[in-house]
Each structure stands twice: as C-alpha cells, then as structure tokens.
Structure 1
Amino acid sequence: MSFLRQVAYNVLFIAAFAVTWPYFAWRLRKRGHVWRDFWHRLGLYGKSLRDGFGPQGVDLWIHAVSVGEVMLASVLLRQMRETRPELRVALSTTTQTGYRLAKRMSDERTFVFYNPTDFLWSVALAFDTIRPKMLILVESEIWPNYLWCAKRRGIPVCLLNARLSPRTEARYRALRYFTRPVLSLVDLVFAQHPSEIERLVSAGFPSEAIFPVGSLKYEVADLPDDSDPASQWWPKIGWGEENLILLGGSTHAGEEAILARIYKKLLEEFPHLRLVIAPRHAERGASIRDLCENLGLTARLRSELGEEGGEEKGREATFIFPPQVLILNTTGELRSAYRQADIVFIGKSLRAKGGQNFIEAARVGVPVIVGPNMQNFSFLAVEFLSKGGLIQVLDEFALAQRLRELAGSSERRAELGRRAQEIFSTNLGAGKASARIIDGYLEKLTPLAK
C-alpha cells in the first residue's frame, strides 16, 4: 500500500507540475535570474558545492523556504555552534530572497543552495550528494519524497518551529488517508505552544515525537541588530520629540485607508500626532501616498530621503516641510522603525486574514493593536491578550476608539508596553531547547564530521 501511495503521489505531482510550470516560470522570469542555479532544483550541484559536502556528507540538512524560515534556521545554528563549532550544515531555500539571506551565512562549514523540487529522482540525487545525518524542515515544509528518501536511508527527520495553519490542518484531515502515513515519518516535532499538541496529533504527527519547546520567533526578534537603520534617517523627517508616532506595520490593501481616515480625525484632538505606514509590499508605497494626499494629508515616501537618510541625486537630505504621513516603502527597516513608534497597529489583521508577526514591536515595549484576524499567530495572540500585553479590535470603529484612548494616555501606553515586553522576555529559550534535543539525537548517530 505504501508503494502504491508513493507511485500515485509522484504521478500526480508530475502532472500538476506540468500544468503549473508555465505560471511559475513566468513568475521567476519576472523576478529575474530565471536560470540561476536552476540545476539545484533537479538535485544537481557544481563542483564547489560537491567538494563542500565532501565524501563524509554533512551533519544537518536544513530546508527553509524563504526569509522568515531562514531567520529561524539561523537561530538554531547560532545555538548549536555554541557547543558544536565544527557542525557541518547544508542549508537549502526556495525563494531568491531567502537564498540571498542564506548566502550571508555561507562559510567553510555552511553550504547554501536551492532545494530540489519534490521529484523522486531529484530528491534522491540530493540526498546521495549531501549525505546528511539529519534532515530539518522549518515550520510547514512537508514534502513527501523528502520524508520517503530520508526514511529509506535511515535519516531522522525534524520539523522545526512546527506551524499548522487552520487551512493546512483542514487539508491534512481531508486527505488523511494519504497524509497521516507521511506525517508519521517525522521523528521530532518542535511545537510552538502546548496548545498545539492536540492539533498536531490530530493531523497525523506521532504524539511521542512532539516537544513543546516554544516559538523561535521570539529568538528571531531578539537577534542582535546593531545597524538600526531607522536612526540614520529618522531625524531627517523633521519631526520633533513633541510628536506622537502611530505606526501601521505590514499593512495590506484597505488597511492604509482605514488608518489614514482615523488619523485625519484624530488630528483634530491630537495635532502633534504623526502617522507612519509600512506596507507589507513596499512597491505599493506611491499609491498609498496618493491615497493620503487625496484625503488632504501631506505624505512623503521614505525612499525620498535616500539611502540611510543621506542625500542622493534627485532626493533630499531632509524634508524642508515635515509631512504628516511617512510611507516606509523600503525593505528591512520596519524592525528598526518600531523603536521610534509610540503606538503600533499590525496589519493583515483587519482587512485580510492571517495576521502578521507583532512580537518585534512587543520586544521594544510599544503598545500593539491587532484586528480580529490573527489565525497564523493565534496562540501568540491568545497569550499576549490573556496577560494584558495586546489589544485586539473587531473593526474600524473599535480601532479608532482604542487609538484615541492610547493617544490621550501616556500611562496607558507605558503599561501596555511594559506588559508586552515582560511577556516577550519570559518566552525566550526555544532556540536552546531545540538545539539541546537535536544535539542529543546527533550524539546517538555517527560521530560528527571534523
């Protein structure tokens, strides 16, 4: 039965790939570099990578699909190399942005490449070339051929910072005849919260494999960041200490208009209030600026200040007339900008579903408001809400009320920020716990390569 299941999956996967390949090829071409390292997708690698893997293989193969997952992987590597500096790691990723970030971690013991597509032959070739002692999949990257190939070679599989969205859970249950035997092949599952255990078991993961170690997202938010890019250009905006800063982080379509309308109304009561909008997709910056100007607000783009606030051709070193609204249409600066905020609203929670990560704002002690849709961060939201470190609103009207309340009370802002920071601090430690368990597994295997 298992053999028939594998045959059926591979036939269906090839058929689905043939149908969808033109669309994905178009997307790759649109982003550029469509053929760069294309052979990695087939499990074929150049001489430098093959020499790096060597005849002895690596200790860990970590697969992290994109930027967020690569950051989680970096936390694990940082922890493991405190006790095992000789650890040899193959780090694969799917997206170009994830690859660029992963390449910063590349060294003589860390080998970065694109993951093989889940064809049986490409995955088998990758395993035979990389020869890992353990396979680590980050969050929700469950690919059947990866698990089958690992099991045939006696390689244990770990799911790091396991995430099971309601949509994925429903899909697993609907296809349980197929998915349960696949999920049962995972040897270690690091759950982000004890409340997740029942859902993970129900989906098909073996109960004895699940360890509730906590969320690595706290560790990612706590990674040192000495660059603080926002501090370089923030003084160039022209706002002073008397200004109160409302920041909308990772907003989605529709939410910017809501924030702008509320902000315009609040200006009547709080004339020193200023608004920063950081859209999830930076390329929407110009349209958001136009939206604000159509409402009668003065708005400027962060990119108009040039690189790190310095003067560039066609750009200003400072705004002569400070705007009421700043659009953060650059990437990699939101975490730093949170330090400048007095109140934060987290997007994809009011007009879109799923929510966005709010703990980077909680880390710096800023009061945080979210909408009703926090499905992707449900257990984090529940914990912060139960301990008074987060405000959740149902609609635009409730958001306006809460923002007015916070804008008018520095004591309330300070109390919410303090609670959020305390909750954040008490949830650190998932990186150490994950590294300790994996280290124990490695001890049972052949000695580490040196």
Structure 2
Amino acid sequence: MRCNRPSLKANMSFFFILFYNIVRVPLYLLIFIAGLFHVKIHKTIIGRRGLFCRLTQEMKRVPNEARRIWIHISSMGEFEQGLPLLKVLMNRYPNDWFVVSLFSPSVYDHMKWNHPRAIITYLPFDSYSQVKRFLNLVRPSLHLVIRHDIWPNYQWVMQSRRIPSILVNASISDHRLPSMRRFKYFYRQIYNTFSAVCAVSAPQLDRLGEIYRRPENIYVCGDTRFDRVMDRALDTDKIRFIMEAIDFGRSECLVVGSSWPSDEEIILPALVQVMQAHPHFRLILAPHEIEENHLDALQKLLMGKGISVSRLAALQSRLESRVLLIDRIGLLANLYALGQFAMVGGGFGPGVHNVLEPAAHGAIVFYGPKHYNSPEARAMIDLKIAFSFSNSEQFAALLSNLLGDPPAIKERSEKTKKFIDQNAGASSRTTDVISRFL
C-alpha cells in the first residue's frame, strides 16, 4: 500500500510559515523595546491595549445576518486611496457592514471619517493567536488590502478558511522590485494567497506576474487616488474663509505644498526673484514642517527681501500680504484650488509628495529631481504637463517664461485636467472585480 506524501509545494509553504513565525518573535521583542524610546512605536503598541474588548463591543452593532467586508489600510495615504472605493462599495452593497482596520497611529489618531455601517479598529499584531481571535470576531466574507500592507499570518489563515482576499491598488515600485525578485520564493508564498490582484496600470502586469502566479486573476483597474483627488477638488468648504479673504485670481498665485527645508533652499530664492519682477504675483506657502521656529525662519527670510507675509492663524477678513504662510495641517489638497501654479515638495528631499492633488485643479505642477518614487510624476513629465527642475535658476526661468505666455498656461492646464479625467473610475472598476467574490 502506497502512502501519500506531502507535495513539495506543501512542504515549502510549511517551511515559510514556520520560518516567518520563528523570526517574527525576536523582531517583535525588538519593536517593543524600541517603543520605550520612540514615540510613534510607543503609540502603535499602547493603542492596541484593550483592542479586543473595544472591538467586541463594536461588533455587537452588526446584525447577525449582515455580510462583513474587511478592508485593511496602513496609513493616512492608503486611507485616502481607500475612501473612494469604500464609498462605491457602500452604495453598491447597502446591507453590508464594513470593518476598517488600521495599522499606523498617524491615521488612527486623525481619523475623522465615520459611517453608520463601518467599524474602525487597530489591526492586531500578526501573531497566530491574535489573527485567529480577530477573524473569529469579525467573521469577514471578504478581505481587501489597500496597496501593500500585507501580513503573512493573516493571509495564510484566511486562505485556510477559504476567505477571499483581494489586493487593491497593487504595484511594485522600482525601489522594491530588486528585493522582491531576490526573495521571490518567499513573496510568492504570501502573494499567492490572494484571490485576485487589482493593478494600478498595465505596465504593472508583468511585475506583479513575477510574484503572483495566477496571471488570469490580475486585473488592471487603475489607481483610486485619481478618484479621491477629483472628489477633494470639488470640496472647497475647508478653505472658504481663505477664499473670502483674498482678492487675487488663480493666474497670479503659486501654491507650495509640503516643502522640506531642502526644497526651500532651492525654491525661495527663485520665488523672491519672480515676485520682485511681477508685483502682483502671490504665494501660498505650506511647509512640511510647521514647528514655530521653522515658520518664523521662513517669515523672516521673506520679509528680509521686502516681501510681506501673513500667517494663516492671524488671517482676518482680508489678506493684505503677498505671502500666506500656512501654519496648520489638513488643508493642502484644498489649497491647490487657489493657485494656477503648484510646487510640490519632497523633490529635493525624501522624494516628491502627491502631485495628483494640484493636478486635479488643473494647476501647472513643478517639482524637484527626486520624483522617481512617483509613477504619476514621471507620467506627467512624459506628457509635458509638469516640470522638473534641478536648481533655483532653472525654476525661476521656467516660472517666468510661463507667466509671460498665457496661452501656454491655458493649454497645459487643460491637458492636466484631461490626464486626471482619463484615469478616473478605478473605484468602480475595482468594485466590479470585488463583486465576483461576494
């Protein structure tokens, strides 16, 4: 009588599960030790105390017969991407409930979104016992991951329970690709647990296909960030008080968004030069760092060049100064509505920030040379609707030339809006894929 031996594939899966859970223990110990010295890590740990007690009470609101869709989001950026998808899902499935799990305290502490059919919770750490306890409590019919905050034990346990799991807004960046290829056998053990993968673009098909071994289940749905920036572009309530205080048009204004000190060293001399040559030109400056000493240094630098500056906190019924210095967070995506031009920070620092937010307003976008972390920033350069620059002189020349060419401004603005419009609709396409597994 022949005995059925476990397949090589099963043995490999068991090996990777065992290896991950052995390595995870000392890593978690290091994280807990680091939490004694690092504020954000400390918040990550403390925030999970009493998690299951709170979640148990929250789940009592869910009718027993209701289907539960679990969506996992890592940080504020992923939440912004997930929000338009959530809205489409809630409209299409009005009787379903949604459990939104978060990993980072930065999004948990600042979460202002809520819905009667939604439950917000921290994601328990990825230990086998906590995973099973969480899944037993939530009992999801479907699981969605926004982008790439993937936790192996959750994926393996859901696969064993036949709970469909879908990776949304999936992509593999140039930065991550070499390491994922190097350790592709490990990544395959995790990615192959997904029932489907929704890619942000056609070029990502080949990359994802190297890791995810079921190409027939990879769907090009687009990037839900385009839907989100379009929604936010229509919402100006947050900045209504600023709009009522200004007396200049968009064509006379540039918005600097989330600039780092390394950006400001390059752009401020250029902007001073342009403002001195164009007396009606205005600037809205929203730095990444809003500590008082940094804001004070920026204000002194500009005023030392003879340019008047007002703080947002001190804004009265009318803005008299040529520069409005933003000293609070949460307004940037809306502020881009006020300027025909935008300089997005990070391009001389860790990498350019969100270029889609100003583009949704039809702004002509500038950024520094470090933009390869952003596929859409590269696409906008290729389409000749955005500008990348390497030094102060180049930035001043680009901006000055545009200010002297109104037809070029109009043409680029229209092309920028078209770029956003053509890429919208990812949330609906993603929901179409999700519906196949419900």
TM (normalized to structure 2)? 0.88
2:342/2:365 contact within 8 Å kept: yes
Structure 1 distance, partners of 2:114, 2:395, is 41
Tell me if structure 2 keeps the 8 A contact 1:186–1:205. Answer: no
Q: Report the 3-state secondary structure (helix = DSSP H, G, I; strand = E; otherwise coil) of the residue aligned with 2:373.
A: helix
Partners of 1:189 and 1:281 in 2: CA distance = 36
- Shift of residue 78 of structure 1? 1.4
Determine if the alignment matches structure 1 residue 372 to structure 2 residue 369: yes
Corresponding letter in the other structure for 1:367: I
Show the counterpart of 2:6.
none
Indicate if the aligned counterparts of 2:269 and 2:392 stay in contact, CA closer than 8 A: no
CA distance in 2, matches of 1:16, 1:292: 47
Partner of 2:68: 59
Aligned to 2:403: 407
1:80 to 89, 98, 103: 89
Candidates 431, 437, 440, aligned match of 2:433 = 437
AA partner of residue 339 (structure 1): A
Q: Indicate conservation of the 8 Å contact 2:173/2:373, yes or no.
A: yes
Match of 2:168 in 1: 160
Residues 1:327 and 2:328 aligned together: no
Percent of paired sites with the same residue: 21
Answer yes or no: is 1:268 the counterpart of 2:276. Answer: yes
Aligned equivalents of 1:331, 1:99: Cα separation in 2: 16
Partner letter of residue 280 of structure 2? H
**Structure 1 regions of 5+ residues with no counterpart?**
306-315, 443-450
CA drift of 1:272 comes to: 1.7
Q: 1:194 aligns with which of 190, 202, 208?
A: 202
Aligned length: 424
Q: Is the 8 A contact 1:162 1:189 kept in 2?
A: yes
Q: Does 1:352 align with 2:349?
A: yes
Match of 1:343 in 2: 341
Q: 1:299-314 maps to which residues of 2 (within 5 A)?
A: 299-305=309-315
CA distance in 1, matches of 2:146, 2:329: 23
Could you tell me which runs of 5 or more consecutive residues in structure 2 were left unpaired when the two chains were aligned: 1-11
SS in 1 for 2:261: coil
- AA aligned to 1:336 is N
The CA deviation at 1:279 is 1.9
Q: Deviations over 1:207-241 (max 9, x none)?
A: 222111111011001225544322312443x6545
Corresponding residue of 1:424: 420
- Return closer, same or farther for 1:223/1:5 CA change in 2, 3 Å cut-off: same
- Hey, what's the Cα distance between the residues in 1 that align with 2:178 and 2:151? 17
Aligned-residue Cα RMSD (Å) equals 2.6
The 8 Å contact of residues 161 and 215 in structure 1, kept in 2 or not, is answered as yes
CA 401–181 in structure 1, closer or farther in 2 if over 3 Å, else same = same
Q: Is the 8 A contact 2:35 2:41 kept in 1?
A: no
> What secondary structure is seen at the aligned counterpart in 2 of 1:198?
helix
Note if 1:385 corresponds to 2:381: yes
Distance 1:255 1:71, change over 3 A: same
Match of 2:31 among 5, 20, 23: 20
Aligned twin of 2:298: 288
1:148-188 deviations in whole A, cap 9, x for unaligned? Answer: 11111111111111132233223322322322221122221
- Following superposition, the deviation at residue 53 of structure 1 comes to 4.8
1:147: how far off? 0.8
- One-letter code aligned to 1:84: Y
- List per-residue Cα deviations over 1:74-102 (Å, max 9, x = no partner): 21121123322112111111233422565
How many angstroms apart in 2 are the aligned matches of 1:18 and 1:33? 14
Which deviates more, 18-27 or 287-296? 287-296
Check the 8 A contact 2:364/2:413 in 1, yes or no. yes
Residues 323-349 of structure 1, C-alpha deviations (whole Å, 9 max, x = no match): 332222212211221111021111112
Contact 1:57 / 1:131 at 8 angstroms: preserved in 2? Answer: no
For 1:433 and 1:37, the matched residues in 2 are separated by 34
Question: How many angstroms apart in 1 are the aligned matches of 2:68 and 2:411?
Answer: 46
